[in-house]
Structure 1
């Protein structure tokens, strides 16, 4: 039976976590991939990973998915507004199944930030604490991919728009967070632990300079107010709600909520985080 299980295992983070477990020597027979669509996990099954079907929105599928698992990685759901209920269902199933430790992917400074994505993560952390389950909370900062995925737009427009006020963001590559999750899942710890995770911080000016250097195309950063950014995003086709939400995320950066001086990430993964320019090169390639 599997020792480790990963929810959302065919997602971009979950798949990387399973690959990290396999690459560090965990036998495939000790890993369960919990997925909504087993057919998407055929490649993992071919490597010997056990595939278990479950859906956060169908609590009846969860007890079987976590049965006899010792350590469970709960990767947060991807639907804002539904996460608290989804996560609660997984936590309750894990507690009933006798899971020995649950690892949860939260958000940087979840208990203090005004980031609009944070309330459901904070609520989940509180539910997890009340459950009595031994747990590890991975408070992930921003993904570098939030920016490198926008390279085509940057290169087309020659501009990076933001409303960060020159503040820094401690983003890290998805592979760094996946490596940290695999490490947290496999390490022996007593009690409950919270890790604040982020890479080397950079400003949007520094991001523009790095993109310019790597691509050879001059990119400039235009720093706007949150209201101006929301208006600019509406002008390129976003609805008002989405534009305001994106601007609010940048405001969270502006007031320092997505920067951290914690070295938890490098300590967990045993190396520095992926340098920004390396992440841009990988995306460019």
Structure 2
């Protein structure tokens, strides 16, 4: 797996008081680090600290190049991204790379978009590290299903709209629509649904929800490339999404949110400020 082109480094130097508060990152350890949804300003201080200390970074496809700039110039950067329908390393191969680098005495960062433990296979990698006896730490990140929607002017909760929210992924391990999802229970039990990795199957997902009793005029938003200059926000309805209308000019990665909180976006006025392209159905 080839190393990625090295961006010009600009490691973040923490004030002494904050630096002393950071956990130690010893050689031979692996940190599973969340890079956030895209905007480098949403990287946590702990993540920036880890990147500045790292000897090797293994990063995913959704990691912003600007986040990689927080690493040292001599840090090895290796792309191990997965994309649906494209050749990509197996999970066991990625874990083996992490273990090998750590056993060579390197400080290893496994950099993942969003949060490592939110539909990011971070838990699988952590299990592999435990099995190999490799010391590791998880550094949480801002997940797109919360931070990305906020950038689009959509809160995942509002006291007058919903008292619960469900995060779900459309894919199972094979890359197809998960057969484990109980669409009737999801429809009845959660007023707001946030769907990760559902762009390719958005019409099928909408059909499932309509069959389960969600109304065709329920508000839906598709937020693509959240928190980045390429961010797109399309607000539509569940019925129109089932017909795959209004989304011709949208490209993944994207988050889909279903529920009344979508109607708050124009009221809050954040979508117009954060996204250069907002389409109303």
TM-score, normalised with respect to structure 2: 0.34
